[in-house]
Amino acid sequence: MPIEADLHLHSHYSDGIHPPARVVEMAAGAGLKAIALTDHDTVEGIAEALDAAPTGLLVIPGVELSSDYRGREIHLLAYFVDPDDASLRSALRRYREDRATRAERMVARLNQLGIPATMDEVHAAAGAGGARERASVGRPHIADVLVRRGAVRDIDDAFARYLGRGRPAYVARSSISVPDAIRLVRAAGGALVVAHPGLNLAEGDVEALVSEGLDGIEVLHPKHAEDQRRRLEAIARRAGVIITGGSDYHGPGRNRHDLASAGVSMATVASLRARAGGGR
Protein backbone atom coordinates (compact mmCIF):
# COMPACT_ATOMS: atom_id res chain seq x y z
CA MET A 1 0.00 0.00 0.00
CA PRO A 2 1.40 3.45 -0.80
CA ILE A 3 2.35 5.79 2.04
CA GLU A 4 -0.18 8.61 1.86
CA ALA A 5 -0.13 9.66 5.51
CA ASP A 6 2.74 10.01 8.00
CA LEU A 7 1.13 9.88 11.42
CA HIS A 8 4.14 10.52 13.64
CA LEU A 9 6.09 13.78 13.33
CA HIS A 10 7.85 16.10 15.76
CA SER A 11 8.50 19.84 15.67
CA HIS A 12 10.64 22.22 17.68
CA TYR A 13 7.93 22.45 20.33
CA SER A 14 9.29 19.13 21.60
CA ASP A 15 12.51 17.49 20.48
CA GLY A 16 12.14 18.00 16.74
CA ILE A 17 14.36 20.46 14.88
CA HIS A 18 11.92 22.23 12.55
CA PRO A 19 9.10 24.64 13.25
CA PRO A 20 5.67 23.13 12.45
CA ALA A 21 5.32 25.12 9.21
CA ARG A 22 8.56 23.62 7.91
CA VAL A 23 7.38 20.09 8.77
CA VAL A 24 4.16 20.76 6.86
CA GLU A 25 6.09 22.14 3.90
CA MET A 26 8.34 19.06 3.80
CA ALA A 27 5.32 16.75 3.97
CA ALA A 28 3.64 18.55 1.08
CA GLY A 29 6.90 18.35 -0.86
CA ALA A 30 7.02 14.60 -0.24
CA GLY A 31 3.57 14.28 -1.81
CA LEU A 32 1.78 13.22 1.37
CA LYS A 33 -1.97 13.66 1.68
CA ALA A 34 -2.08 13.72 5.47
CA ILE A 35 0.23 14.12 8.43
CA ALA A 36 -0.15 14.17 12.18
CA LEU A 37 1.97 16.50 14.28
CA THR A 38 2.67 14.47 17.43
CA ASP A 39 4.98 16.40 19.71
CA HIS A 40 5.82 14.93 23.11
CA ASP A 41 3.28 16.08 25.72
CA THR A 42 2.33 19.27 23.91
CA VAL A 43 -0.13 20.62 21.35
CA GLU A 44 1.63 24.00 21.17
CA GLY A 45 2.60 23.46 17.52
CA ILE A 46 -0.81 22.44 16.18
CA ALA A 47 -2.17 25.89 15.33
CA GLU A 48 0.95 26.75 13.31
CA ALA A 49 0.77 23.42 11.48
CA LEU A 50 -2.92 23.92 10.64
CA ASP A 51 -2.24 27.46 9.43
CA ALA A 52 0.56 26.24 7.18
CA ALA A 53 -1.37 23.36 5.61
CA PRO A 54 -1.81 23.78 1.85
CA THR A 55 -4.88 22.54 0.01
CA GLY A 56 -4.65 18.79 -0.39
CA LEU A 57 -2.70 18.16 2.81
CA LEU A 58 -4.73 17.20 5.86
CA VAL A 59 -3.07 18.12 9.16
CA ILE A 60 -4.32 15.94 11.99
CA PRO A 61 -3.93 17.44 15.47
CA GLY A 62 -2.00 14.94 17.55
CA VAL A 63 0.17 14.54 20.62
CA GLU A 64 2.55 11.81 21.84
CA LEU A 65 1.83 11.27 25.53
CA SER A 66 4.47 9.86 27.85
CA SER A 67 2.90 7.17 29.98
CA ASP A 68 3.90 4.01 31.75
CA TYR A 69 2.65 0.47 31.69
CA ARG A 70 3.80 -2.46 33.81
CA GLY A 71 6.93 -0.58 34.84
CA ARG A 72 7.92 0.43 31.31
CA GLU A 73 7.96 3.90 29.87
CA ILE A 74 5.61 3.90 26.91
CA HIS A 75 4.33 6.44 24.43
CA LEU A 76 0.71 6.86 23.39
CA LEU A 77 -0.25 8.72 20.22
CA ALA A 78 -3.48 10.70 20.27
CA TYR A 79 -5.11 11.74 16.99
CA PHE A 80 -7.90 14.15 16.08
CA VAL A 81 -7.83 15.77 19.51
CA ASP A 82 -9.28 19.25 19.91
CA PRO A 83 -6.11 21.27 20.59
CA ASP A 84 -8.21 23.88 22.41
CA ASP A 85 -9.80 21.40 24.81
CA ALA A 86 -9.39 22.99 28.26
CA SER A 87 -8.75 19.77 30.20
CA LEU A 88 -6.21 18.58 27.67
CA ARG A 89 -4.42 21.92 27.68
CA SER A 90 -4.26 22.17 31.45
CA ALA A 91 -3.03 18.56 31.81
CA LEU A 92 -0.35 19.16 29.19
CA ARG A 93 0.68 22.43 30.82
CA ARG A 94 1.27 20.58 34.11
CA TYR A 95 3.44 17.97 32.36
CA ARG A 96 5.36 20.69 30.56
CA GLU A 97 6.04 22.53 33.82
CA ASP A 98 7.10 19.26 35.42
CA ARG A 99 9.49 18.63 32.52
CA ALA A 100 11.14 22.03 33.03
CA THR A 101 11.58 21.46 36.78
CA ARG A 102 12.95 18.01 36.17
CA ALA A 103 15.43 19.32 33.60
CA GLU A 104 16.68 21.80 36.23
CA ARG A 105 17.23 18.93 38.66
CA MET A 106 19.05 16.90 36.01
CA VAL A 107 21.32 19.84 35.18
CA ALA A 108 22.05 20.28 38.92
CA ARG A 109 23.02 16.61 39.12
CA LEU A 110 25.31 16.97 36.12
CA ASN A 111 26.93 19.99 37.74
CA GLN A 112 27.45 17.97 40.94
CA LEU A 113 29.18 15.36 38.80
CA GLY A 114 31.53 18.07 37.58
CA ILE A 115 29.91 18.53 34.18
CA PRO A 116 29.25 22.15 33.34
CA ALA A 117 25.88 22.67 31.66
CA THR A 118 23.29 25.37 32.16
CA MET A 119 19.53 25.63 31.83
CA ASP A 120 20.06 28.46 29.33
CA GLU A 121 21.79 25.98 27.03
CA VAL A 122 19.05 23.40 27.57
CA HIS A 123 16.36 25.97 26.74
CA ALA A 124 18.30 27.01 23.64
CA ALA A 125 18.45 23.35 22.57
CA ALA A 126 14.72 22.98 23.24
CA GLY A 127 13.96 25.56 20.58
CA ALA A 128 10.23 26.33 20.42
CA GLY A 129 11.17 29.41 18.42
CA GLY A 130 12.69 30.92 21.57
CA ALA A 131 9.46 30.70 23.58
CA ARG A 132 10.74 28.93 26.71
CA GLU A 133 7.45 28.41 28.43
CA ARG A 134 6.00 26.75 25.33
CA ALA A 135 8.76 24.13 24.92
CA SER A 136 8.39 20.53 26.02
CA VAL A 137 11.87 20.06 27.48
CA GLY A 138 13.30 16.56 27.53
CA ARG A 139 16.39 14.47 27.95
CA PRO A 140 17.26 14.73 24.23
CA HIS A 141 17.84 18.47 24.73
CA ILE A 142 20.14 17.87 27.71
CA ALA A 143 21.93 15.23 25.64
CA ASP A 144 22.42 17.84 22.89
CA VAL A 145 24.09 20.18 25.34
CA LEU A 146 26.42 17.42 26.56
CA VAL A 147 27.37 16.56 22.98
CA ARG A 148 28.00 20.20 22.14
CA ARG A 149 30.20 20.62 25.19
CA GLY A 150 32.17 17.50 24.30
CA ALA A 151 31.22 15.77 27.57
CA VAL A 152 29.93 12.75 25.61
CA ARG A 153 30.51 11.31 22.15
CA ASP A 154 26.92 11.36 20.97
CA ILE A 155 23.30 11.22 22.14
CA ASP A 156 23.43 7.48 22.85
CA ASP A 157 26.56 7.98 24.93
CA ALA A 158 24.79 10.73 26.89
CA PHE A 159 21.94 8.36 27.77
CA ALA A 160 24.25 5.43 28.51
CA ARG A 161 26.46 7.43 30.86
CA TYR A 162 24.24 10.05 32.46
CA LEU A 163 20.64 10.41 31.35
CA GLY A 164 19.19 6.90 31.02
CA ARG A 165 17.02 5.43 33.76
CA GLY A 166 19.26 4.42 36.65
CA ARG A 167 22.17 6.58 35.46
CA PRO A 168 23.58 9.26 37.79
CA ALA A 169 21.90 12.34 36.30
CA TYR A 170 18.54 10.66 35.75
CA VAL A 171 15.51 12.20 37.41
CA ALA A 172 12.08 10.66 36.93
CA ARG A 173 9.22 12.85 35.79
CA SER A 174 5.51 12.40 36.28
CA SER A 175 3.60 10.89 33.41
CA ILE A 176 -0.04 10.22 32.77
CA SER A 177 -1.50 6.78 33.54
CA VAL A 178 -3.02 4.77 30.71
CA PRO A 179 -6.62 5.03 32.01
CA ASP A 180 -6.23 8.80 32.52
CA ALA A 181 -4.77 9.16 29.01
CA ILE A 182 -7.73 7.29 27.55
CA ARG A 183 -10.22 9.47 29.44
CA LEU A 184 -8.43 12.72 28.60
CA VAL A 185 -8.06 11.95 24.89
CA ARG A 186 -11.62 10.65 24.47
CA ALA A 187 -12.99 13.75 26.19
CA ALA A 188 -10.92 15.88 23.79
CA GLY A 189 -12.48 14.03 20.85
CA GLY A 190 -9.44 11.93 19.93
CA ALA A 191 -8.40 8.36 19.26
CA LEU A 192 -5.49 6.72 21.10
CA VAL A 193 -2.82 4.39 19.75
CA VAL A 194 0.26 2.79 21.34
CA ALA A 195 3.43 4.19 19.73
CA HIS A 196 6.32 1.97 18.56
CA PRO A 197 5.55 -0.92 20.94
CA GLY A 198 8.39 -2.91 19.40
CA LEU A 199 10.88 -0.63 21.15
CA ASN A 200 9.80 -1.04 24.73
CA LEU A 201 7.01 -3.59 25.28
CA ALA A 202 6.79 -7.38 25.34
CA GLU A 203 4.17 -8.69 22.94
CA GLY A 204 1.96 -10.00 25.76
CA ASP A 205 1.99 -6.53 27.26
CA VAL A 206 0.97 -4.96 23.94
CA GLU A 207 -2.07 -7.21 23.85
CA ALA A 208 -3.01 -6.39 27.45
CA LEU A 209 -2.45 -2.67 26.94
CA VAL A 210 -4.61 -2.52 23.83
CA SER A 211 -7.43 -4.31 25.67
CA GLU A 212 -7.52 -1.42 28.17
CA GLY A 213 -9.30 0.52 25.43
CA LEU A 214 -6.88 1.68 22.76
CA ASP A 215 -7.91 2.22 19.16
CA GLY A 216 -4.79 1.07 17.39
CA ILE A 217 -1.19 -0.06 17.33
CA GLU A 218 1.62 1.80 15.59
CA VAL A 219 2.79 -1.25 13.65
CA LEU A 220 4.63 0.69 10.94
CA HIS A 221 7.62 2.44 12.48
CA PRO A 222 11.17 2.68 11.07
CA LYS A 223 12.64 0.99 14.13
CA HIS A 224 10.41 -2.09 13.93
CA ALA A 225 12.11 -5.07 12.34
CA GLU A 226 10.16 -6.97 9.71
CA ASP A 227 9.33 -9.92 11.99
CA GLN A 228 8.23 -7.53 14.76
CA ARG A 229 6.03 -5.73 12.30
CA ARG A 230 4.36 -8.99 11.29
CA ARG A 231 3.70 -10.06 14.88
CA LEU A 232 2.33 -6.64 15.87
CA GLU A 233 0.09 -6.68 12.82
CA ALA A 234 -1.30 -10.05 13.93
CA ILE A 235 -1.97 -8.67 17.42
CA ALA A 236 -3.82 -5.68 15.93
CA ARG A 237 -5.95 -7.92 13.73
CA ARG A 238 -6.85 -10.23 16.62
CA ALA A 239 -7.76 -7.26 18.81
CA GLY A 240 -9.74 -5.58 16.05
CA VAL A 241 -7.83 -2.32 16.32
CA ILE A 242 -6.33 -0.07 13.65
CA ILE A 243 -2.86 -0.64 12.21
CA THR A 244 -1.22 2.78 12.17
CA GLY A 245 2.22 4.09 11.33
CA GLY A 246 4.54 7.01 10.88
CA SER A 247 8.18 7.94 10.55
CA ASP A 248 8.77 9.53 13.98
CA TYR A 249 10.79 12.12 12.06
CA HIS A 250 12.53 14.67 14.29
CA GLY A 251 14.69 16.50 11.73
CA PRO A 252 18.24 16.09 10.47
CA GLY A 253 20.66 14.73 13.03
CA ARG A 254 18.02 13.67 15.55
CA ASN A 255 17.47 10.20 14.17
CA ARG A 256 18.27 8.18 11.13
CA HIS A 257 14.90 7.92 9.44
CA ASP A 258 13.35 10.30 6.98
CA LEU A 259 9.95 11.90 6.86
CA ALA A 260 7.47 9.53 5.11
CA SER A 261 9.79 6.56 5.67
CA ALA A 262 6.80 4.88 7.33
CA GLY A 263 3.11 5.58 7.14
CA VAL A 264 -0.34 4.47 6.13
CA SER A 265 -3.04 4.97 3.52
CA MET A 266 -5.87 7.50 3.67
CA ALA A 267 -8.22 4.58 4.42
CA THR A 268 -6.43 4.21 7.77
CA VAL A 269 -6.84 7.94 8.41
CA ALA A 270 -10.58 7.53 7.81
CA SER A 271 -10.74 4.59 10.26
CA LEU A 272 -8.95 6.62 12.91
CA ARG A 273 -11.27 9.54 12.42
CA ALA A 274 -14.25 7.22 12.78
CA ARG A 275 -12.90 5.90 16.11
CA ALA A 276 -12.01 9.37 17.43
CA GLY A 277 -13.97 10.44 20.49
CA GLY A 278 -15.03 6.86 21.21
CA GLY A 279 -17.02 6.33 18.00
CA ARG A 280 -17.08 2.97 16.24
- For Fe ion, the binding residues (CB under 5 A) are 64, 75, 195, 248
**What separation, in Å, do the N-terminal and C-terminal C-alpha atoms of the chain show?**
24
| Long-range pairs, 258-261, Cβ under 8 A, ≥24 | 259/6, 259/9, 259/23, 259/26, 259/27, 259/30, 260/3, 260/6, 260/27, 260/30, 260/32, 261/222
Of all residues in the shown chain, the one whose CB is closest to ligand AMP is 138
Nearer to Fe ion, 215 or 248 (CB): 248
Residues forming the site for ligand AMP (CB under 6 A): 40, 66, 138-140, 155-156, 159, 164
Q: Residue 139 binds what, of Fe ion, Zn ion, ligand AMP, none (CB under 5 to 8 Å, by partner type)?
A: ligand AMP
What is the closest distance, in whole angstroms, from the C-beta atom of residue 184 to ligand AMP in the complex? 18
186's contact among Zn ion, ligand AMP, Fe ion, none, with CB below 5 to 8 A by partner kind, is: none
Q: How far is the CB of 243 from ligand AMP (least distance, A)?
A: 22
Alpha-helical regions (H) of 165-277: 178-187, 197-200, 203-210, 226-239, 266-275
**Residue 96 beta carbon to Fe ion: minimum distance, rounded to whole angstroms:** 16
Question: How far is the C-alpha of 243 from the C-alpha of 192, rounded, in Å?
Answer: 12
User: 117 is in the binding site of which of ligand AMP, Fe ion, Zn ion, none (Cβ under 5 to 8 A by kind)?
Assistant: none
Question: Percentage helix, strand, coil, to 5, in the chain?
Answer: 45, 15, 40
Q: What is the number of the residue whose Cβ is closest to Fe ion?
A: 75
Q: Which partner from the list Zn ion, Fe ion, ligand AMP, none does 248 bind, CB cut-off 5 to 8 Å by kind?
A: Fe ion
